[in-house]
Structure 1
Amino acid sequence: MPVSSFIPRAIGLVVTIGFSVAAGYWGQPLVSNNTDAINTIVTVFSILAGFLIAVITFLGDPGARGWDQLQLDKKSMEAKLWRHEVLFYLYLVTLGLALFMFVLPEEYEKTTLWLERLFVGSAVFVFLASFALPQSLSALQMERYQSKLDDDLPQVLKDLHKEE
């Protein structure tokens, strides 16, 4: 990854983590003993997890490209799939935290407090991270479009580009 794109991503990650930690700590009272809020978050993340599986399936489809193009795109595709898989697992972690909050006996107040903080922080982090999905999907579609366009370019124009 070029340094020019790494720095903004790293800054974004640090800001997102910071915001998520703060939201988890101070937003915990919003979910404490509020099953409607927890159920809403669980529903949203269940839907997002299902959507993300469809996205991962879509990303993994190589389309009608030749072997050479597939080989060139392999590392890039692996990186994109890895990022989406991590996001999917973070959705599952958020859902798992909600499950633990429901099954933990009431006498474990301190543990419940920290589970709620982790749940809110995780939900905020994963929600903010999800905003990168549309850009990622758009970039992928444009890459596929450009690849198809290059493949279907008339030979006369291909020869012109070789001379330049």
Structure 2
Amino acid sequence: MNIMKFILTISLSAFMSYLGKDYIINNSDAINLLVSLYSILSGFLVTIITIIGDPSEILSTKNWREAFYMIKKPSTQLIKACCLFYCYFITLILLFISMILPEYGSSIFKLLFEYAYIFFASLALIWSFGLPLMLVQYQTLKLESALQKKRNENNLQ
């Protein structure tokens, strides 16, 4: 199922880059919007990575085995968040490169960079829809862990 979602996401991003190129290229408002959007999302994502990577709950565990199992879920979330951050960052880098390439001469390279940044912008946008769910899952995990800790303190199972 995950492979199918990945292939569908890549295909949709490629399709969006093909269709969206005419609307974004040479449209300074659209380019400024992309730069602003992905700059803000990058900062927001760094905050999320910091929150998810907070080791305070893991440090309060009773033994190493409990800590080992508590690390598993946030680690996968951190990897997903880091991949999304890199997608944002690659979008901004490709956008910057396409803006500084001259219009004349190497037009094929400029065209490739334009398609590439629209592709990564589309990919990042699609992946960003999963951020709220990831935060809810992380909060749920923390709440369940806190509840289990209270149960253990009160000798309840």
Under a length normalisation based on structure 1, what TM-score does the superposition of the two structures give?
A: 0.86
Q: Counterpart of 1:95?
A: 92
Q: Counterpart of 1:39?
A: 32
Cα pair 1:62 1:70 within 8 Å, conserved: no
Shift of 1:101: 1.0
Q: Counterpart of 1:155?
A: 154
Q: Distance in 2 between matches of 1:100 and 1:16?
A: 24
Under a length normalisation based on structure 2, what TM-score does the superposition of the two structures give?
A: 0.89
Residues 78-133 of structure 1: CA deviation (Å, up to 9, x unaligned): 22211111110110000001100111011122221221111111101110001111
Cα pair 1:87 1:126 within 8 Å, conserved: yes
Q: Which runs of 4+ in 1 moved over 4 A?
A: none
Shift of 1:67: 4.7
Q: Counterpart of 2:42?
A: 49
Q: Counterpart of 1:161?
A: none
Q: Distance in 2 between matches of 1:67 and 1:118?
A: 49
Residues 21-70 of structure 1: CA deviation (Å, up to 9, x unaligned): 01112211112211111110110000000000000000011333315332
Q: Counterpart of 1:19?
A: 12
Q: Distance in 2 between matches of 1:99 and 1:156?
A: 59
Q: Counterpart of 2:22?
A: 29
Shift of 1:156: 4.4
Q: Distance in 1 between matches of 2:73 and 2:56?
A: 15
**Structure ranking higher on relative contact order (CA contacts 8 Å, 6+ apart):** 1
Residue segments in structure 1 that go unaligned for 5+ positions in a row: 1-6, 159-164
Cα pair 2:74 2:138 within 8 Å, conserved: no
